[in-house]
Structure 1
Amino acid sequence: MAPRPEPVQQAEGRAGSGENLAGPGEDLAVARGRLAEAQGRVVRALVAGGEVPDGFDAARLRAQAASLVAKRRSIVARLRPDAAVAAGADLAAEFAAYARARGEPPPGYRADADGFAAWLRERGRLPDPPRRRTPWWRRRVP
């Protein structure tokens, strides 16, 4: 018979309550502020090309950041196939350059797709959208 594993000790306090966030003599609000700043540094490193925070493996964080850019690129290509076609074989490189230039992604995939299309248009890779013509029944005779 195999030996039974040791029971896992539970941390003091309720899970998620924030009771163990603060060190001895530290205000809970200050500890939460420190945690929020640390989380912000990790997010900036992942999505905005920020510095890798201390204690993190730089290679793994870069790999995860590249994965997030690839995910954005695939969704943008589905939402704006015209932009993907315009970028052609250079789609990965073009989108990576767009993501680096932008820093932080916009809120929402539709805005990201439209931003990438505008970025391609500024560089002459995507033609201007055709002007919408007024239907004949709405045109006024002078």
Structure 2
Amino acid sequence: MATTESRQSAIDVGSLTGLHWVGIVAALVSAAIHLRLGVGGLALPLRIGFLLAGLGFVGAVVLVLLDYRRRTVYAVGIPFTLVQIVLWYGINFAGGTKSFPADVGTLGAVDKVAQVVLIAVLVALLRR
């Protein structure tokens, strides 16, 4: 017989829609890229930032899978992801030596597409 505590910590995929899964995949793509960059040869402050961002995406996916305050996760996820996009642009292109869009790169393009998809999914889920 399951207790209330064990039921609350179980993954609840039955309540997830196709839209949820698109968001989960997009978040995991962005998480994987951030974690990969975070363990790479970047300067320490950037490395820590990438690791924290990657862990933030993974943590949000876990909360959604556990059906823990999903609407709050959606609401926090939108500005969290928007900040990722703004920081990426600011660090790489605003006043820098790189030009947009010529110097985006494969990882940057994949990450930003995943993040734009994630924001669209989060907005749609929040509006339901």
Q: Same fold (TM over 0.5)?
A: no
- Identify which of structures 1 and 2 has the higher relative contact order when contacts are C-alpha pairs closer than 8 Å and 6+ apart: 2
Structure richer in helix, relative to its length:
2
TM-score under structure 2 length normalisation: 0.29
Task: Tell me which structure has the larger Cα radius of gyration.
Answer: 1
